[in-house]
Structure 1
Amino acid sequence: MTQTCLPSSALAPQFNLPAQLSSSIYSSHLLLGQQRVVDSFVLCSKLAEQHLFLADFPGVNRVKFIQALTLQASTPSDAYLVASKQNGDTSFHWQDMVVPENVGTITVKDELFTYLHGKITRAQLIGKVTKKANATQYEAGALAKHHYVYICVESLWKREKLWELLAQIIEDGQYSVNSELAPIPLNCKIVLVGSSLFFSHLREEDKLFMKQFAMLAEMNHELDLTKHSEHQYMQWLQAIAEIEQVQLDISAIRPLLWYSAKMVEHQQRLSLNMIAMGQLIAQANVYSNETQVSAKAVSTAIEKQIERHNSSEEYAAQNFDDKFITLPTDGDMIGQINGLTVIDTGDYSYGEPARISTTVHYGDGEVADIERKSELGGNIHAKGMMILSACLYRIFGRDAPLHLNANIVFEQSYQEIDGDSASLAEYCCLMSAIAETPILQSFGVTGALDQFGNVQAIGGVNEKIEGFFKLCKRRGLTGKQGVIIPRANILQLNLEPEVIIAVNEQQFFIHAIDHMDQAVELLMQLPAGEADEHNTFPDSSLYGKVQQRLDRLAGHEIEAETPSFLARILKRLRSTE
């Protein structure tokens, strides 16, 4: 049997941390991993008539990020809006030269950037004209006061007239505040800030959008550690801490990196969620009794954060402990297996084992999904069941139809189930029921199958493992319990220390597999078996037992054992002699 058991070193990310913190931190450190955005912004700043769409994500501190980004381009010199008369008509134009005292200056563009969001008004955008003592005075808006004007696209889109006004301003290259004032030339760079989905929506809905905002700068929400270093991320964390006015101790970096890697579910990637990391650092500062935030304070903040959101998990655990939900974690049973699921409450997700059972009987070859028939199964789960059926027929139904019906169900499940991550467990359960061979109940199983039996990656692997481990730990670890997961999920492992300790002490096992045959061999302690040139499996193998049961259901053995009419007559004649 191929070695499938994972060592404890593979269960969490391994970081190479520097010995001390960086002494100097700049706002540019907030741009870590955003070189694509920086390049797009710098290019846009050098193009006269093209504006930019900055596609961010909910975890960005927009003001701080915009401030750091704007400093990457050459700082424009102040510009002066002056009036001139020609043929009796007054017109405005911008100039970089300092205006002489005898020349009237309408306004000065001397501020680098602004960010408009919330309830944006027309006056905020283009300014307004006020009258004082029979004199008309222009109060400049964002377009006239700032070199770079960032606008929240969701806020602008809600105010339809302002959206149309901005589009018209960009198209005309100027704007009018009112009928008394001459048009003011547009002399700033406009950057819309929103999600990439909003960008795609605008491309479809607004004909002028792609002409006016031809450039997209899409932010990365995670950092690839194969391209960047832990030292660079540490500087990013220090920059976040400065925003929160918190001092970090070097010991705090490791748990912060662990938490960050857990957010993106990858051992070689880290989260660039400025808000989430900033909130955690601020909370850790409250729990710290020192001037600097230590590892202990960060760990406490993480534990308290979980406690604030895990009430559903605790209630579910009580149902298992009170035996309201039946799910054995020792012994063996035929046609029953422990699947692993994830419950997502919106702000928190946790793993919960689920008992899956299968019965088989003579029929026309249907593998029935009771969840689907009862309208509790989603479309992806139904797809997984169809793939499971395809695997069954690929192995045992190549030359003839199968004469069995099977019923597969998630026991004690009263809400919709979706996803294909249970297809491996359902397949193993089906093999057990057909072969009448028991499955070890000390295992929890997750994995998605393809039609060739390969086990594919699934989501929520850490929550699933930890959910089954917690149940086993409450009942008492026996040294035989464990989980079976897809090998493709190894890079996503980032387990709690208590799980890693139990694995290291061989009290709990995590098996990573590539093919469904490896799973059935672990669960039923039998070789899966290899077919010969006649597609016949060895009698002592699991698939041999499945084949024998299918033959019995098809009546093949009955026909072989029942004597023919002529044989019965001959036997009778011999008995009378």
Structure 2
Amino acid sequence: MLLKPHQLYHACNAKLLTFETTAELEHLSETIGQERALEAIKFGVGMPHAGFNLYVMGSHGLGRHTLVHEALIKQSMDAPCPLDWCYVANFQHPNNPTALGILAGTGRKLQRDMAQLIDNLIQAIPAAFRGDEYQRRAKEIQEDLSQREREMVKRLGEKAEGLGITLMQGPTGFTLAPFKEGKMLSTEQFDELPEEEQKKLNEGLETIKKQLKETMSHIPEWQREMQQRFSKLNRETMELTVTEFMAELEKEYQQDEKISAYLTHIKQDIIENVDQFRLAGESEEHNVTALDPGFTRYRVNVLVDNADTLGAPVIFEDNPTYQNLLGRIEHLARMGTLQTDFTLIKLGALHRANGGYLILDVEKVLTNPFAWDGLKRAIKSREIRIESLERQLSLISTISLEPEPIPMNLKVVLVGSRELFYLLKEYDPEFGLLFKVAADFSERFPRDDNNELLYARLIATLQKREGIRDITRDGVARIIEHNSRLAQDGDKISLHMSTLLDLLQEANYHAEQQKENRIRQKDVDAAIEAQTFRGNQYQQQLQEAIQKDIIKIETKGVQLAQVNGLSYLQLGDHTFGAPTCISATARIGGGEFIDIERETKQGGPIHSKGVLILTSYLGQRYAKNQPLSMTASLVFEQTYGQIEGDSASAAELCAILSAIGDIPIKQSLAITGSINQHGEMQAIGGVCQKIEGFFDICKARGLSGEQGVIIPLSNAKDLMLKQEIIEASAAGLFHIFAIKHAEEAMALLSGLPAGIPDEEGIYPEGTFNFLIQVKLAEWIALRLHYAGASMKEE
């Protein structure tokens, strides 16, 4: 069927676009065409049970991140604000910092209050020890000890005096010496005394020495008692001071049991470390504050601060490494060693999103070592445990921190491709248990009159949001038509938001260059042409090679067993079509088919499948009740890369039929289409690009009125060809044929009808099927002849 010019381009119904510019259109409150995905997101977010996390799938450019983020933001506004999370010192187990989950906004306040408390105590505690009351009581304790010592010396001196011994106390201790008549005796004087008197004095000296030693043994005990009294005094002084300064703090946080328990531990530790505060306050080297390393254990590490958070947090982590997800413990280099403490614990994305929603690109998670396993472990255990990778891999054995895990309650939303979803579903048994909800984004939007107007409103919404010029009605129509072409389906419109937005922005740029206040159709056309021009260098080089006969493509005359097939190529964002010469040979044989592409491993599995299907059709069509006595080969001439797809199977079939029947094929026609085992034509992709690729070659060589392209009838509705092809068709210079069966293609290419077989299955003369039957019959006869001759020789 020869298609009419109006069938080559399915234009937008401008009558239904009842507006002059997009400024008149009502903007959309939500996106269109993604109802299925939005319903899945709504269900996954609302489902409270474990494992109902989401996997959002679709191709790049559909606006998945934007739509998911907007949907979650809307949902999060009604959710309660999550807790603040802080890490504080664990005074019983210093290597296991304690996690505090407290009301939002309390974390930063507690942090400030603790810093202020320590600063106050650093000043107040030394002042308390310098106070009159403390000095008085300390003096009393010291006087008590001195009084005891004086009384001891007095009693011992009186006793010594009764024995004729004097007791003297000097800087280095006590001295005993005999005396007589109030005078201390020298050694010579002592020796002159009667022996009896000397003996008596010596006995007195020994007695006093013994009693002095016994008395002196009580002094350490008295000193210990004094020290205990001083410690008690210090503790009482500390308790009074600390209690005084912490009373208001304890009252303020008395409703929170966790903070109250923490303050109790803080109070006890401060009292037990009185000397640290006294020395800090009395230091003359520098002004000691709460930031001094010696007071680190009294700090509050606010890990998650939700003071400014409205509703539940919605977090997107662009770099989901293991540490960026689960947090990390940093270290400081001090005196040549690495040291750490709980204030160096840093949060991860799971901490920031706790109580809300975390959005991740699944491909980035999978490509970061250990991130996927760490994420799954956190979801399964429902807690965030900060562990260094070095410890997990046993790369270090030093003592490190083991922070208390934080309970986790959030929804994880993975954004990725369909391929990754099905691969994870197949090969990761845990994936299906943890991500039970799939939100599948639609790639295309049904194209009808109502939806075209709805799509126009989408264009207006994007135009307004991006601050782009208003777009006229003909400009909107051209955008809709272009996105229908991108969808490769005449009944659909592409929903790739990034591609649409790029086109709007580029059209706006062209309008700006032309100093236009609105974006018109010509600006949209200019943007489309500019996009094509930037990416079509290889296409132009390929066309030049064809025009110079470096790559041989015939566009006139006839050839045996040679057909112009059409290929579809994609390089980055640019797609285009190009003709390819497909040739075949056929000779007497035993029914073998050689696909040279497959034999050389250039053909992909789908291409090989197409070749096998057409060989099956040949057998069913021409050798149902007889052997297929032929050997055939197929090849894509001058191709040096991978051949994939079955859209050339119709062209390959026609090339083989031409080779079998010695039927000349018109080179002015190109063909694309897939066939099934019954020879029926099936739809293929890239039909517009393929037609345009052959047209460009024909146009460059000069349109003769005989050139054209044969396509499957099922692809006719997908045609959105460029204007010059429509004009050439209207002038009778280029033709598009849409067919249902491969025999229609062979009839067009050969100029011979297919014919209708008679009761014996013989086709009438003058048909290409008759020529094929005759040739196959000849080969059968030849095989029988050669087989008989061989038997006679034997």
The answer, yes or no, to whether TM exceeds 0.5 is yes
Which residue number in structure 2 is paired with residue 294 of structure 1? Answer: 520
**Residue equivalent to 2:55:** 53
Cα distance in 2, alignment partners of residues 486 and 213 from structure 1: 42
Aligned-partner Cα distance in 2 for 1:333–1:282: 49
Asked if the contact 2:564–2:580 (Cα under 8 Å) also holds between the matched residues in 1, the reply is: yes
One-letter amino acid of the structure 2 residue matched with residue 59 of structure 1: G
Select which of 304, 308, 314 maps to 1:113.
314
Corresponding residue number in structure 1 for 2:208 = none
Change (3 A) 1:215 1:228: farther
3-state SS of 1:190 partner: strand
CA distance in structure 2 between the aligned counterparts of 1:544 and 1:123, rounded to whole angstroms:
73
Q: How has the CA–CA distance of structure 1 residues 556 and 295 changed in structure 2, closer, same or farther, with 3 Å as cutoff?
A: same
One-letter amino acid of the structure 2 residue matched with residue 491 of structure 1: K
From 169, 188, 194, the equivalent of 2:410 is 188
Please tell me whether the aligned partners of residues 650 and 681 of structure 2 are also in contact (alpha carbons under 8 angstroms). Answer: yes
Q: What per-residue deviation string (whole Å, max 9, x for no partner) do you get for residues 260-280 of structure 1? A: 122221112122212222222
What SS is found at the alignment partner of 2:518? coil
Quickly say closer, same or farther: Cα 1:265–1:512, change in 2 above 3 A. Answer: same
Q: Distance in 2 between matches of 1:181 and 1:396?
A: 78
Report if aligned partners of 1:26, 1:239 keep a CA contact under 8 Å in 2.
yes
CA distance in 2: counterparts of 1:513 and 1:548, whole angstroms = 26
1:442 aligns with 2:668: yes
Give the SS at the match of 1:408.
Answer: strand
Larger Rg belongs to: 2
- What's the CA shift for 1:319? 1.8
Question: What's the CA shift for 1:509?
Answer: 0.9
**Structure 1 residue identity aligned to 2:364:** S
- The counterpart of 1:273, out of the listed 483, 496, 519, is 496
The 1:101–1:512 alpha-carbon spacing in structure 2 relative to 1, beyond 3 Å, is: farther
Does the alignment pair 1:469 with 2:471? no
Within 2, Cα distance between the matches of 1:326 and 1:156?
Answer: 48
TM-score by length of 2: 0.62
1:194–1:341 Cα change, 3 Å? closer
- Residue deviations 1:433-472, cap 9 Å, x none? 3333322222111222222111122222112111111111
- 1:217 and 2:426 aligned: no
Distance verdict in 2 for CA 1:370–1:210, change over 3 Å: closer
1:32 aligns with 2:254: no
Check the 8 A contact 1:28/1:69 in 2, yes or no.
no
State the partner residue of 1:395: 621
- The structure-2 alpha-carbon separation of the partners of 1:76 and 1:309, relative to structure 1 and needing over 3 Å to count, comes to same
- Give the partner amino acid of 1:70: L
Once the 2 structures are TM-superposed, how far is the Cα of residue 127 of structure 1 from its aligned partner?
Answer: 8.8
Q: Which of 221, 226, 247 is residue 469 of structure 2 equivalent to?
A: 247
Q: Tell me if structure 1 keeps the 8 A contact 2:488–2:685.
A: no
RMSD: 3.6
Q: Could you tell me how far apart the structure 1 residues matched to 2:428 and 2:609 are?
A: 37
Deviation at 1:123, TM superposition (A): 6.1
Task: Give the C-alpha shift of residue 167 in structure 1.
Answer: 2.9
For the residues of structure 1 that align with 2:35 and 2:102, how far apart are their CA atoms? 32
- Indicate the residue corresponding to 2:241 in structure 1: none
- Contact kept? 1:51, 1:191, Cα under 8 Å: yes
- Provide the residue aligned with 1:171 in structure 2: 380
In structure 2, the residue matched to 1:575 is none
2:507 is aligned with 1:284: yes
Give the direction of change, closer, same or farther, for the CA distance of 1:204–1:383 in structure 2 (3 Å limit).
closer
Alignment of 1:190-205 (within 5 A): 190-205=412-427
Is 1:406 aligned to residue 632 of structure 2? Answer: yes
Whether the aligned pair in 2 keeps the contact of 1:127 and 1:142 (CA below 8 Å) is no
**Alignment of structure 1 residues 159-558 onto 2, 5 Å:** 159-175=368-384, 183-225=405-447, 229-250=451-472, 251-288=474-511, 289=514, 290-555=516-781
Which residue does 2:357 correspond to in 1? 148
- What does residue 9 of structure 2 align with? 12
Identify if the C-alpha distance between structure 1 residues 244 and 540 changes in structure 2 by more than 3 Å, giving closer, same or farther. Answer: same
Q: CA deviation at 1:169?
A: 3.2
Structure-1 separation of matches of 2:643 and 2:423: 31
Q: 1:76 aligns with which of 75, 78, 90?
A: 78
Higher relative contact order (CA 8 A, sep 6+): 2
Superposed CA deviations along residues 153-178 of structure 1, whole A, max 9, x for unmatched, are 23333444444443333333333569
**C-alpha contact 2:316 2:359 (8 A) present in aligned 1:** yes
Deviates more, 1:111-120 or 1:304-313: 111-120
Moved more, 100-109 or 217-226: 100-109
Q: Secondary structure at the match of 1:73?
A: helix
CA drift at 1:232: 1.9
Q: C-alpha distance in 2, partners of 1:220/1:429?
A: 39
| Residue number in structure 1 paired with 2:201 | none
CA drift at 1:334: 3.1
Distance 1:171 1:10, change over 3 A: same
- Alignment check: 8 A CA contact 1:352 1:467 kept: yes
Whether the 8 Å contact between 1:92 and 1:185 is mirrored in structure 2 is: no
How much does 1:549 deviate? 2.6
- What's the secondary structure of 1:390's corresponding residue? helix
Give 1:83 shift.
9.3
Deviations 1:118-143 (A, max 9, x none): 25464665698999xx9969987655
Partner of 1:573: none
State the 1:283 CA deviation: 1.8
Q: Which amino acid counterpart does residue 39 of structure 1 have in structure 2?
A: E
Letter in 1 for 2:781: G
Task: Tell me the amino acid that sits aligned with residue 81 of structure 2.
Answer: A
Q: Which residue does the alignment assign to 1:44?
A: 44
Alpha-carbon spacing, 1:488–1:64, altered in 2? closer, same or farther (3 Å): same
- TM-superposed deviation, 1:558: 12
Aligned with 1:395: secondary structure? helix
The answer to whether the 8 Å contact 1:342/1:463 transfers is yes
Change (3 A) 1:19 1:129: farther
Report if aligned partners of 2:64, 2:441 keep a CA contact under 8 Å in 1: no
Q: Which amino acid aligns with 2:8?
A: L
Distance in 2 between residues matched to 1:551 and 1:245, nearest whole Å: 73
Please, which runs of 5 or more residues in structure 2 have no aligned partner? 93-97, 108-250, 260-301, 333-340, 388-400, 786-794
Q: Distance in 1 between matches of 2:2 and 2:754?
A: 18
- Deviation at 1:300? 0.8
Contact preservation (8 Å) 2:710, 2:739: yes
CA distance, structure 2, for counterparts of residue 125 and residue 67 of structure 1:
21
For 1:438 and 1:471, the matched residues in 2 are separated by 22
Instruction: Tell me which residue corresponds to 1:565.
Output: none
Conservation of the 8 A alpha-carbon contact between 2:27 and 2:458:
no
- 1:567 corresponds in structure 2 to none
Shift of 1:240: 3.0
Residues 174/555 of structure 1: CA separation in 2 closer, same or farther (3 Å cut)? closer
**Farther-moved stretch of structure 1 (304-313 vs 456-465):** 456-465
Aligned AA for 1:244? E
**Cα offset for 1:378?**
3.6
Aligned to 1:574: none
Higher percent of residues as strand: 1
Q: Which has the higher helix share?
A: 2
The AA in structure 1 aligned to 2:685 is: G
The question of whether the paired residues in 2 share the 8 Å contact of 1:351 and 1:468 is answered with: yes
**Shift of the alpha carbon at 1:336?**
2.6
Higher mean C-alpha displacement, 137-146 vs 420-429: 137-146
- Helix, strand or coil at the partner of 2:618: helix
